[in-house]
Amino acid sequence: MNAKKKKVLMILGGGAVALVLAVVVFALTFDINSYRPRIEAAASGATGLEVRINGKMGLSFFPFGISATDIHVANREGEVISIETLKLGA
């Protein structure tokens, strides 16, 4: 293998390693629970019902998905549904 191809492969390999490292750092430092009020407001606005997430929320990347615990959905008369654990994935 000539020097030019070797250099290109080293650059591409380094870029791939840097990308994987960036995804790992993002996954370890990202806190989806800080977005809870915005998620509750968006869900409440979309459904016309009061949506509250009282438990912990989680985010997974492999496979991509989101989970939440202790969810309550209510209207003016009272609670419509209570969900112990919800997992959504793609």
Taking every pair of C-alpha atoms in the chain, what is the biggest distance, in angstroms?
Answer: 75
Secondary structure percentages of the chain, helix, strand, coil, to 5: 50, 35, 20
Instruction: Provide the CB-side half-sphere exposure for 5 (13 A, CA).
Output: 2
pLDDT recorded at residue 35: 92
Sites in the chain below the pLDDT cut of 70: none
pLDDT recorded at residue 3: 87
pTM beyond 0.75: the answer is no
Domain boundaries, the chain: 1-30, 32-90
Q: Does domain 32-90 have CATH number 2.30.110?
A: no
State pLDDT tens for residues 69-85: 999 999 989 999 999 99
Q: Which helix (H) or strand (E) holds 66?
A: strand 64-74
State how far the Cα of 11 lies from the Cα of 16, in Å rounded to an integer: 9
pLDDT recorded at residue 46: 96
Structure tokens at 25: 């750092």
